[in-house]
Structure 1
Amino acid sequence: MSLRTKNEAARPVRMVFTTRAGGASSSPYESFNLGDHVGDDPDAVAANRSRLAEVLDLAPGDIVWMEQVHSNNVALVDGPQPGPVEATDAVVTTRKGLALAVLVADCVPVLLADHVNGVVAAAHAGRMGARNGIIERTVAKMVELGATPATIQVMLGPAASGRHYEVPPEMAADVEKHLPGSRTRTGKGTTGIDVRAGLVRQLLSLGVTHIEADPRCTIEDPDFFSYRREGLTGRQAGLVWLP
């Protein structure tokens, strides 16, 4: 996690991805685990979330978390929440100063923003959520709130890459059917999927062209938590908000 610069603070929208460094959690969650559902010490998670808010110059209550369930459910939020938004994998808001957070450890964290029309969203795009249209539904909800595809900016964060995301051929075929462009070959020559590649193609088909993708692979990069690499592990986060 890096500190903001003055130029960053002046931007009309903020997008941030964390790493696993700089927190209070002990092994196997060392050290900046932000997930409160993975068995980590609740006090350590609370300390990590408090530090996150402090570094980002936000109040802890101004960060909205989700109870992510690998669904295609999208929720609209208009203010601070008493707890995680239940059973959803994307949150959308028009409220300034309200940071939307997504937790991941191989799935794709997707941050979307239309600062021209004042709409932002954060989505958890794992294999099933991406296959079942979580990003398509998120963009649709943003458009309902006044966003336009041409002015939506998207950042896809660090996630499992096609080089290492090995799946059975039948699973790859199923994902490819629903998310074209996602089937690939791994570095070992086996069948794999690249969820980010499929999402980029899907976003382009929706008229969203301002897309950036962080190429780092969570499976191979020890700076990130990875469920596929470690099993029992923590979660990093992506956050987006309108200052």
Structure 2
Amino acid sequence: MAEALRAAALDGVPHGFLTRRGGVSRGAVGGLQCGFGAGDDPAAVRRNRELAAGAVLPGASLVGLHQVHSPDVIVATAPWEDEARPRGDALVTDRAGLLLAVVTADCAPVLLADRAAGVVGAAHAGWRGAHDGVLENTVDAMVALGADRAAIAAAIGPCIMQASYEVDDGFRARFGEGEGAFFAPGRAGHWQFDLLGYVAARLERAGVARVESLGRDTYAEPELFYSFRRATHRGEPDYGRLISLVGMPA
């Protein structure tokens, strides 16, 4: 059975940050592997996505993206085929019965909702997308659909945590001096980057008053989460993708 982690900030809204448990994939990406780019059997990926959707909002139509680490937001008004996934890194909708999906493997999955307005959003927030404005753009797109900025709640799911995220001076140089609080000194020429804190700060900057983090480290919990960085460090042939879902019942 698929396992979904929930956030109190989204109580009453169908949502879940799925772990890798309960799926049908095998090998290095064994479990609930939900990404089409992982070198996995496409039939297994589709079955895993069905299992994930059933754990969150049975009967809903799951819609996902071809993610490209961009600031681009897609407004979903009807289901589409997996093969026709638009390019982008966030989805919003005001349509009941649609289940918005993002996949991650260290980047931060962010689920958002204004329950009263019936508007939800899901964003894939790696450092590049967050830096370029994907979270602010997601909030703006929700407001355009009728959400109240002050009523939007956001939950940040499992992602790579600061203790596991070493970056070099070149990475640090991409950020302004006012963003130094998100970097802790590491070994010579390196830093530990706080992706979680950075994502939370960008959400707050966008006017989201309630932001909750699950505080789970994808790198450090291999039995529960896939991790690009961990797979790279271990020399594994590929890495799985976790799926995070949010929707409104029909």
The normalised TM-score by structure 1 is 0.89
Aligned to 2:76: 77
Query: Shift of the alpha carbon at 1:177?
Result: 5.6
Query: Shift of the alpha carbon at 1:170?
Result: 2.5
Are 2:158 and 1:158 equivalent residues in the alignment? yes
Query: Shift of the alpha carbon at 1:87?
Result: 1.2
Map Cα deviations across residues 75-117 of structure 1 (whole Å, 9 max, x no partner).
Answer: 1011111235321000100001211001000000010101111
> Following superposition of structure 1 onto structure 2, how do residues 1-243 of structure 1 map, counting pairs within 5 Å?
1-2=2-3, 12-59=12-59, 62-83=61-82, 84-176=84-176, 181-185=181-185, 190-222=190-222, 223-231=224-232, 232-243=238-249
Map Cα deviations across residues 2-56 of structure 1 (whole Å, 9 max, x no partner).
Answer: 3799xx9xx5412201111111111111111011111001121122122223333
Q: What amino acid does structure 1 have at the position aligned with 2:243?
A: A
Query: Cα distance 1:81–1:120, how it changes in 2: closer, same or farther (>3 A)?
Result: same
Q: Which sections of structure 2, spanning at least 5 residues, go unmatched?
A: 233-237
Query: Shift of the alpha carbon at 1:137?
Result: 0.8
- Aligned pair count reads 238
The answer to whether the 8 Å contact 1:33/1:234 transfers is yes
Aligned to 2:235: none
Query: Shift of the alpha carbon at 1:187?
Result: 9.5
Query: Shift of the alpha carbon at 1:237?
Result: 0.9
The answer to whether the 8 Å contact 1:131/1:178 transfers is no
The answer to whether the 8 Å contact 2:34/2:45 transfers is yes
Q: Which runs of 4+ in 1 moved over 6 A?
A: none
Residues in 1 aligned to 2:24 and 2:169: alpha-carbon distance in whole angstroms: 40
Map Cα deviations across residues 136-188 of structure 1 (whole Å, 9 max, x no partner).
Answer: 11111111111122100000000011111111122123135696743234599
Map Cα deviations across residues 178-237 of structure 1 (whole Å, 9 max, x no partner).
Answer: 967432345999402112201211222222121100111101111100000013111111
Q: What amino acid does structure 2 have at the position aligned with 1:81?
A: W
SS in 1 for 2:159: coil
Residues in 1 aligned to 2:180 and 2:87: alpha-carbon distance in whole angstroms: 26
